[in-house]
Structure 1
Amino acid sequence: MNLVSHLLERQLRLPPPITRDVVCEKDLRIPMSDGVELLANRWTPRDGGDGLPTALLRTPYGRGGAFGTGLARPLAERGYQVLIQSTRGGFGSGGTFDPLRQERADGLATLDWLVEQPWSDTIVLFGMSYLGYVQWAVADALPPQVRALIPIVTESALTLEFLRADGRSLEAPVGWGVMVSLQERPFARLRQLTQERRTDRAFRSLPLSSADVAASGVRSAYVQDVLAHDARAPRWAELDHTHRVASVTAPVSSIAGWYDIFLPGQLRDFRLLREAGNPARLTVGPWTHVDFHNTPFTEALDFGLAYARGEEPKPRPPVRLYVGGQDLWRDFESWPPPGYSPSRWYLSSGGVLGAEAAGEPDRYRYDPADPTPAVGGVRLVRGGGAGRVDNTALEARPDVLTYTTPVLTDDVEVIGEVSAEIWFSSSVRHADVFVRLCDVDPAGTSWNVCDGLVSLTSADEVTRADVTLWPTAYRFRRGHRIRVQVSSGAFPRFARNPGSGEPLASATTLLAADQQVHHDAAHPSAIVLPLRDA
């Protein structure tokens, strides 16, 4: 296993370990409050593991492979012992897997058990995505032995952003539901590539209620819930742990990505922590949800271990952001940082983005049978399908409008919350408005910075669509141009709007629509950018 240790050290750019001689005690049985037992593996140095700070990881993805070796081993080699537990109903743990719903009771029971173990002293909660969400589920009732939380690309309400009635996501919640329903089948890892293609085809199912069977051959209760209930439904109320965030007493280090699916909620959680006086800090890098980088391990060692040992971590400003375009890490005192004010950049005739709105409406036709595709950006996919990509082919489509500034004579720095106000009308009542901010380099290549979508239910009248884009930190350099795209979808990141007003799960009618973007003096469509003050 020393070869694996060396490979992980190089791949993750980690400091040398304290020891490479670690052992894994498998299948510890941890009782829950209802008598169900969950299984866990304990990774420790072969000598001297008892009493080290315990990193607790609770995961629905199994205790081996990338999670056991890739997460637990590097921590166990560098000052921790690690308890990695399979959540209820998966990978040998008892009970039935019901995603997101049982993590508070089971998490508290696990902590109660852990503090009673003679080999455990202080505890650090650690993990990304679902492994971060389970930290928030217990965050307001932590025993004093928990000295720090490190939630990574996650947030306290997790799936609710996907289920907004005015902007329903498809790829992330349905794709994840299909993935977890298949992950314990034989050779699941080997089948992953072909499964992804099958799932992609299933996103086009009509009605969408058949997508889970089309993708996996089995019915998924979670996928059916996602399709049938939006974020306002009582079905999801118990999954929202936002109200617990302000009550967290242990220090928190949040790690986020500019192209991560959970970024807005993670920034909200950070603001709640700081407003409550928590010594929280935030790091946001140029990452997507599935990027695997060394920052989580750096925080586990520099931040988590320090607090677990009763020390203060090395001082650092509360907010560290990777500023795109400038391609530098910079420190700030808060999020959003002071010194940035909202500035409107107006859409105008001739595809111009500038100081005032003018001209007749621009038109395009949107056909949900040939939906505008999701290209890069905030997606739960691997490889080059997410993050910052070349938008040339997307912008050549007839269902995508673009508005571009003249060449910039000075740098323009944008840090904070981005939004758009698009005056819009359609030949149908139900339509979506997707807005994307891009950086056009001197060679003419358009690179996406951030974007967002909103659904309208009265689009047959001229309506102002208020679109919330993903936050960003970006410097548009002198010699570049700023561009705004407007379209009516990003499929399959967002569910395609059928135009018929039918419920998402049961819709079978697809209506093509003629869309108009208005930008006259009475309807001043604009993007609102938080610009650095002069």
Structure 2
Amino acid sequence: MKLTSRILERSLKLPPPQTRDLAVHRDLRVPMRDGAVLLADRWAPRSGAEGLPTLLMRSPYGRAGLISNAMVTPLAERGFQVLIQSTRGSFGSGGVSDPLRQEREDGLDTLDWVIAQPWFGEAMVLFGASYMGFVQWAVADELPPQVKAMIPQVSESALTREFLRSDGFSLETPFSWGGVVATQERPLRLLRIRSQSRRIERAMRTLPLKDADVKAVGERSQYLQDILAHDADDPFWSRLDHRERVAKTAAPVSSIGGWYDIFLAGQLRDFRTLQEAGKNPRLTIGPWTHAERNNVAIMEALEFGLAHARGEAPPDRAPVRLYVMGEEAWRDFESWPPPGHEPLRFHLQSGGGLSAEAPPEGEPSQYRYDPADPTPAVGGISMMHGGRKDNRALESRPDVLTFTTAPLEADVEVVGEVSAEIWFQSSLPFADVFVRLCDVDEEGKSSNVCDGLTRLTGADIPTLTEVNLWATAHRFKRGHRIRVQVSSGAFPRYARNHGTGEPIGTAIELRAADQTVHHDPARPSAIILPCKASADK
């Protein structure tokens, strides 16, 4: 354990620990109101632990391995006693697992139990990423005064809302996560990760999708069946929607996200809710995907969480800290979205041009989309394989249109919410419009910045389609070019559009479509960028 401690200190660039001599109290029994007993491990310095602030992590992924080594150990060595609990029905905890649905009651019962323990020191910090951030929001409106801070990472208060949208169903996220949860306690799972990933990739091409769970995990998965049967607005998911609790939290919140994280949109929504409620939250967003790990969360626990737990003010910094891609530098702002960035329209032009000038008359652009050979997702928003990627091979496909500016005469800074308005028409009533913003360097390499998709019904007449892309902070350098891709898919990030209008779980027919993008004075397609077009920083 001490060798691991030294490796983590060096690799994560952490401050020296207060101790490396930790004791682990395993399988503590935490009773729930319905009689179920959840198990937890307490990591603490071998001497002098009583009274230290408690950092609570509630996890569906177990209490050993990577989580304990990479997160629990560094924090328990540097001022916390850490309690990591297995959520209901996982890794020895009692009850039946029903992902995401039991976390409010179980979370509140866990808080009450922790506060009653003789080793508890009157201060607690809630901490964790993804699911472990969601469970914090599930109890945020009824926190006892002993909870001094919340630090959710790559997470939000209504996890199903974005990736189960009926107008843009995100296939990869629930299937990847559902596959992990369904198989993580099987013997030799770590040796089978690669083969399991391949099974999930093949399963997402299954027709009909309602049979894909068996191919992905070897058995029926109620979670995967539920996500196919109920979209984000279905009352079925109401118990998973904790948005109304966000403004009511009494604890200071520091939220950490990534520009290519699957939950960024909801995380920014939660942050704006806290801002508008006068809660003075903090926000940090880096150039990361959902699964990337670094020292930012640990350092925030030590600087923000530990300070609040001790009744001290954390180190002073601006409320919003963003990594500006392209510039490759951290910048501080007072709010989200930051002031000083005004919407600027870049219009799609005939011949593949992109300009702030109004489009001239010209022929529309066309391509053919075939769901049997769906346009692939290359980089972007993904649990495992996203981020910034070279898009040149993708852009060479005949089912991807590109529109590109001339080389920029000055830097163009884009910070905020990005959207597009595309005049679109299909030969079928049912179609998707996918828009991606890219940065093209002097060598011609096209790197994705942000993207989004909208699903249409009635697409067989010209339709002004609004596409909300992911938010971003990016600086297009002088000499680079701004590029917009338009296509009809990004598989498997989004489920492919069959062109038939059938329910996603039972559709089996695949119909190809001829797509048209209009860009003329009467139908001006454009991407709208929140710009600060100057060299000022």
Structures share fold, TM-score greater than 0.5: yes
Q: What SS does the aligned partner of 1:50 have?
A: coil
Query: Is 1:453 aligned to 2:435, yes or no?
Result: no
Deviation of the 1:406 alpha carbon: 0.2
Question: 1:212-361 counterparts in 2 under 5 A?
Answer: 212-354=213-355, 355-358=357-360, 359-361=362-364
Structure 2 distance, partners of 1:218, 1:15, is: 46
Aligned length: 531
The amino acid of 1:438's aligned partner reads C
| Alignment partners' CA distance in 1, 2:389 and 2:472 | 16
Question: How far, CA to CA, are the matches of 2:292 and 2:206 in structure 1?
Answer: 29
Return the letter of the residue paired with 1:474: H
What are the superposed Cα offsets for residues 225-252 of structure 1, whole Å, 9 maximum, x if unpaired?
Answer: 1111111111111111010000011100
8 Å contact 2:430–2:499 — kept in the other structure?
Answer: yes
Gaps of 5+ in 1: none
Q: Deviation of residue 13 (structure 1)?
A: 1.6
Q: Distance in 1 between matches of 2:118 and 2:278?
A: 33
Alignment pair present for 1:47 and 2:47: yes
- Hey, what does 2:88 align to over in structure 1? 88
Give me the identity figure in percent: 65
Match of 1:374 among 372, 377, 386: 377
User: Are 1:341 and 1:533, in contact at CA under 8 Å, matched by a contact in 2?
Assistant: no
- Aligned AA for 1:224? Q
Matched, 1:469 2:472: no
Structure 2 counterpart SS, 1:189: helix
Superposition deviation, residue 178 in structure 1: 1.7
Deviations 1:507-533 (A, max 9, x none): 000000000001111110000000116
Query: How many angstroms apart in 2 are the aligned matches of 1:133 and 1:514?
Result: 41
The residue identity in structure 2 corresponding to 1:82 is V
Q: Secondary structure of 2:191's match? A: coil
Structure 1 residue matching 2:189: 3-state secondary structure: coil
- Measured in 1, the distance between the counterparts of 2:10 and 2:188 equals 28
SS of the aligned residue for 1:223 comes to helix
Determine helix, strand or coil for the equivalent of 1:190: helix
Measured in 1, the distance between the counterparts of 2:306 and 2:279 equals: 18
Contact 2:253 2:281 in 1 (8 A): yes
Distance 2:532 2:157 in 1: 30
Partner of 2:148: 147
Structure 2 CA distance for aligned equivalents of residues 427 and 13 of structure 1: 56
Give, as a single letter, the amino acid of the residue that structure 2 aligns with 1:341: E
Spell out, residue by residue over 1:175-194, the C-alpha distance to the aligned partner (whole angstroms, 9 max, x if none): 21121011110011110111
Amino acid in structure 1 at the alignment position of 2:100: L
Partner residue, 2:65:
65
Does the residue aligned with 2:223 lie in a helix, a strand or coil?
A: helix
Q: Give, in angstroms, the shift of residue 342 of structure 1.
A: 0.7
Number of the residue aligned with 1:429: 429
CA distance in 2, matches of 1:533, 1:422: 23
In structure 2, C-alpha distance between the alignment counterparts of 1:369 and 1:533, rounded to whole Å: 42
1:362 & 1:338 partners in 2: Cα distance? 36
Aligned partner of 1:365 in structure 2 is 368
2:269 aligns to what SS in structure 1?
A: helix
User: Using the alignment, how far apart are the partners of 1:287 and 1:133 within structure 2?
Assistant: 19
What's the offset of the Cα at 1:506? 0.1
Amino acid at match of 1:366: Y
Partner of 1:156 in structure 2?
157
Contact kept in structure 1, 2:410 and 2:533, CA below 8 Å: no
Find the counterpart in structure 1 of residue 497 from structure 2: 497
- How far residue 41 of structure 1 moved from its aligned partner, in angstroms, is 0.2
Offset at 1:66? 1.0
1:100 matched residue in structure 2: 100
In 2, distance between residues paired with 1:420 and 1:53?
A: 47
Q: Write the distance in 2 (CA, Å) between the matches of 1:146 and 1:365.
A: 55
RMSD: 0.8
Contact 1:453 1:489 in 2 (8 A): yes
What is the alpha-carbon distance in structure 2 between the residues aligned to residue 141 and residue 272 of structure 1?
17
Opposite residue 418 of structure 1, the aligned amino acid is: V
Asked if 1:407 corresponds to 2:407, the answer is yes
Q: Which amino acid letter does the alignment assign opposite residue 356 of structure 1? A: A
Residue 180 (structure 1) aligns with = 181
User: Paired residue for 2:387?
Assistant: 387
State the AA in 1 paired with 2:508. Answer: T
Contact (CA 8 Å) 1:500, 1:509: kept in 2 or not?
yes
Question: After superposition, what is the alpha-carbon deviation per residue over 1:95-145, rounded to whole angstroms, capped at 9, x for unaligned?
Answer: 001010000000000000011111112000000000000000000000000
SS in 2 for 1:114: helix
Q: What does residue 525 of structure 2 align with?
A: 525
Preserved contact between residue 157 and residue 265 of structure 1 (Cα < 8 Å): yes
Within 2, Cα distance between the matches of 1:11 and 1:215? 35
Counterparts of 1:55 and 1:218 in 2: how far apart (Å)? Answer: 36
Alpha-carbon contact 1:339-1:533 (below 8 Å) kept: no
Task: Tell me the amino acid that sits aligned with residue 484 of structure 2.
Answer: V
* CA distance, structure 2, for counterparts of residue 499 and residue 360 of structure 1: 25
1:425 is paired with a residue of what secondary structure? strand
Shift >2 Å, 4+ stretches: none
Deviations 1:29-57 (A, max 9, x none): 00001111000000000111111000000
Contact 1:227 1:504 in 2 (8 A): yes
**By how many angstroms is 1:279 displaced?**
2.3
AA at the equivalent of 1:204:
R
What is residue 417 of structure 1 aligned with on the other side? 417
* CA distance, structure 1, for counterparts of residue 339 and residue 30 of structure 2: 47
CA distance in 2, matches of 1:11, 1:131: 23
For residues 44 and 159 of structure 1, what CA distance do their matches in structure 2 show?
35
Query: What letter is aligned with 1:160?
Result: R
Q: Which range is displaced more, 390-399 or 169-178? A: 169-178
Long gaps (5+) in structure 2: none
Letter in 1 for 2:465: A
Asked if structure 2 preserves the Cα contact closer than 8 Å seen for 1:340 and 1:532, the reply is yes
Counterpart Cα distance in 1 of 2:480 and 2:10: 36
Quote the offset at 1:174 in angstroms: 1.6
